[in-house]
Amino acid sequence: MEHDQIYAGDDTDPGPFEFSAAVARVFPDMLRRSIPGYAASIQAIGSLAHRYVQPDTRCYDLGCSLGAATLAMRRGIAATGCRIIGVDNAPAMVTRARELIEQDDARVPVDVICSDIRDTEISNASMVVMNYTLQFIDPDDRQSLLDRIAAGLQPGGLFVLSEKVRHPDPAVETMLIELHHEFKRRHHYSELEISRKRQALENVLIPDEIDTHETRLRQAGFSHVGVWLRYFNFVSLVAIR
C-alpha cells in the first residue's frame, strides 16, 4: 500500500480532485487516513451480503473504485448463482480493481465495468452498494439514479449508501469538520495537505443532509430506511426494498 502524498507539495494549485492513476496508487491509504469508520463499513457490507443476498441474483458496487466493497460482498455471499457487477468511470481505478479481484480466490463471479453509473442498468438485484459515490454525482441526477436502483432491486433487496454529509446546524457542522480535520492530523496529514485536499474537493464532492438522503430513498420506493453507522460527518444508510 503506497503512502498518500498527493497533496504534500505546495508548488502548484492542486486543481479539482479526480480519480487519476496517481490517486489509484495510493487510494487504500487515502481512504484509511481520510474516512472515519471506513474499515467498519466495509466489514459490515460483507455481513449484510451474507444476510440479504438472494440466490440467482445480481449485486452491484456502483462507483467501485478499487473494489473494496465488491470483495466484501464476494466473501460474504452465501447464496448460490449470484454475480457481482462493479462499475466505475475512472479507467485507472477499473484497471487496478480488476487486478485485485483477480488475486482474490472467492468463488462468486465478478465483472468490473468502466462506465458511468448513471448509464448502468440495474436488474434482478438483491444488493446494491454505493460507498461514498453519490456525493460526486450531479445533485440534479441523484433522485433519478436512486429511483433506478430501487426499481432494479428484488423485494427485500438491500441498498447500502455511504456518504459524507452536512449538518443543518452551522455550529454542529463546524464542530464535525474540526473533528474530521483532527482525525486527519492523527493520521499524519499536515495542515497543508488538509487544506489542499479540501480545496481540490470544492464543488466536486457536494454533500447533502441526512434528511435529504432519507427523503430521496423513501421517494424512490424503499420501505425501510435508516442510518446504521455514523462517525463525525460520515454516515452509512441502509434501505430495504
Structural domains present in the chain: 1-241 (3.40.50.150)
DSSP annotation of 53 = P
Which of 204, 198, 161 has the alpha carbon at shortest distance from 178?
A: 198
Which of 180, 175, 213, 211 has the alpha carbon at shortest distance from 194?
A: 180
Q: So what's the pLDDT on residue 69?
A: 97
Cα 52 vs. chain centroid, distance in angstroms?
Answer: 19
CA distance 26 to 47: 26
CA distance 93 to 98: 9
Question: 240: which strand partners?
Answer: 158, 224
CA distance 239 to 220: 10
pLDDT by residue for the chain (241 residues), tens only, comes to 689 999 987 766 778 999 999 999 999 999 999 999 999 999 999 999 999 999 999 999 999 999 999 999 999 999 999 999 999 999 999 999 999 999 999 999 999 999 999 999 999 999 999 999 999 999 999 999 999 999 999 999 999 999 999 999 999 999 999 999 999 999 999 999 999 999 999 989 999 999 999 999 999 999 999 999 999 999 999 999 9
Residue where the block lists cell 435529504: 212
